[in-house]
Amino acid sequence: MTADCIILDSHIMTPKGVMERNIVIDDGKIVDFTTDIPQCDKKINARGLVAIPGLIDTHVHYGVYSPIEEAAKTESRAAALGGVTTMMRMLRLGHSYKTHLQAQLAASKSSHYVDYSIHATIFDASQADEMKYITENGITSFKLYMNLGGEVGHVYMDMDPGSSDLFESHVQLETDTIRKVLANAAHLGCPVLVHAEDYQMCECGIKKAKENKKDGLPAWSESRPPDSEAKSIKKVCEIAREYGTTVYFVHIGSAVALDAIEQERKKGTKVLVETCPHYLTLSYEKQSGYLAKVMPPIRSSSDKEKIWNAISQKQINTIGTDHVANQLKLKVRDDVWSSLAGFPGIGTLLPILLSEGVNKNRINLTQLVELTSTNAAKIFGMFPQKGVLQKNSDADITLINLKKEQKVSADFFGAFSDYIVYEGWNLKGWPQTTMVRGNLVTENMQVVGKPGYGQLVKRSLG
C-alpha cells in the first residue's frame, strides 16, 4: 500500500507528550506514526517544526458585514494562514431557522478553505421552538446574548446570502426566552454559549458616561462594568442549574467575571469558560483610539494578569477569537460610543499565543493544544475526529516554527478587514503549514488550498 502523505521529523504534540516520529496520512486520516519512511506519494519535510492538532476557533463572526459566500472565502483564508483548521461561526439569523437556515448552509458550502461548524443564536421564543430542527441540521450548540435589550438592543444580524445589505435589528431578550433555551438545550444535550453582560446595567452605564461627556476605551470599560458580567452570570447559572444545562461563557476577560463563575461552579453549575487573545494582551491603559473597542471591553492590566493566571489554574477551557470581519469605514467614528465593537483576530490567534504565551513561558505547548483545540473538540462533539493527533483522527495538522519572527500586518492575512489591532507587533512563533484532512491548505506561509474544500463538521451530541 502507498500512503498519500508523510510528515517527516517534526516534534509531534500528542496527549501523552512530545513524540519524535513521522506522521503517515492516508485518505484524510492519520494512519500511523513511524520511525522509517514507508511508500508515500508526498513527503513534507518538517525538521525543526512542531506538529500540533489544527486549531479550532470556537468563536467567529463572519457573514455580518459581507455575505457568507464571500466572507467564508476571505476569513477562512486568514484562518488557514493562522493555523486554524476548524472555524465555528456564530450565526445570527434575523428570521425563522426553518425558512432561512438552508440558504445559509448552501451558501457556506462552496467557499471555505478550512472546515467549519456553526453555533445558532436564539433571540426569541419562536426561534427557541426551532432548536430541535436546528440540531437535525448538524448544529448542536446555541448562543444567548444577555447584553441585548432596551436602548442597547441594537444588533447586526448575518446578511442574507446573495445580498450585501447590512441587516440591522433590535433584540429584547426576555427571561422567558432564556428559560426556554436553557430547558430545550438540556433536553437536546447541547451546550448554551452565553454572552454575559446585563443589558440594563450597560444601558445605564452608557447613558451616564455620555452625560458626563466621557470618551475613550477606559470610559467604554467603565460603562459596561465587570459587575454587569457577574450579574448576568449569576442569573443564567441559577436557571441552568434547574435544568442541568451546560453553560459555556464566551469571551471572559475580567477578574470579577471569573470569580462569579467560580462561585457558580461551586454551587454545581456545569460551566465552561472561553477567553480571547485580546484579554490576554490588551488593556485600556495601553490602547489608544477606538480600534480595540469590543464587548465585553478590554479591561485593566491587572485583569490581564488574572486571566493568564486563571489559565494556569485550569479555570479556562478554551481560547476563541470573537473575530469580527468588519472594516475601518464602519469601525471608527467620532467617539467610542458610535464606533463599532469587535475586530478581526482569527489569523493572529496562534501567533499571539505562541509569542506572548509559549515563548514567554506563560503557557506550555500542551496547554496551548488543550486550550485551542482538544477542549473545544470535546465540548462541541468533534472529538476524537478533531482536536488530537492520534491514529484514525482527521489529519488536521498545523506545523509551527517557534523561532520564526514576523511583524503582524492585515495585508498578510488578506481577509475582509483592512486593519488589525496588532498591526506592527513583532511576534515570535508562527504557523508555517496548515493541513486539513490530509490536504495542504497553506505551505510555508502561502495559501495553496482552494475555497470549497472545507466541510461542515459532523458533530455528535454531548
**Contact positions vs Zn ion (CB under 5 A):** 322
Written as one string, the DSSP assignment of 196-221 is ---HHHHHHHHHHHHHTT--SHHHHH
Minimum distance from residue 445 beta carbon to Zn ion (Å): 28
Of the pair 21, 59, the CB lying nearest Zn ion is at 59
Minimum distance from residue 191 beta carbon to Zn ion (Å): 15
Single out the residue of 422, 274, 252, 275 nearest to residue 343, CA to CA: 422
Contact assessment for residue 386 and residue 393, using Cβ atoms and an 8 Å cutoff? yes
In the bound state, the residue with its beta carbon closest to Zn ion is 322
Of the pair 322, 396, the CB lying nearest Zn ion is at 322
Of the pair 59, 77, the CB lying nearest Zn ion is at 59
3-state secondary structure of 88: strand
Rounded to whole angstroms, the Cα distance separating 430 from 281 reads: 17
Minimum distance from residue 392 beta carbon to Zn ion (Å): 33
Other beta carbons within 10 Å of 256: 17
Of the pair 130, 322, the CB lying nearest Zn ion is at 322
Minimum distance from residue 61 beta carbon to Zn ion (Å): 6
**Angle, in degrees to the nearest 10, between helices 226-243 and 255-266:** 20
Of the pair 90, 441, the CB lying nearest Zn ion is at 90
Minimum distance from residue 144 beta carbon to Zn ion (Å): 12
Minimum distance from residue 380 beta carbon to Zn ion (Å): 15
Of the pair 52, 78, the CB lying nearest Zn ion is at 78
Of the pair 24, 371, the CB lying nearest Zn ion is at 371
Written as one string, the DSSP assignment of 41-61 is EEEEE-TT-EEEEPEEEEEEE
Rounded to whole angstroms, the Cα distance separating 90 from 193 reads: 10
Q: Where are the alpha helices (DSSP H) in 282-340?
A: 301-312, 328-331
Other beta carbons within 10 Å of 261: 26
Minimum distance from residue 148 beta carbon to Zn ion (Å): 12
Place of cell 445559509: 104
- Please count the residues of the chain: 462
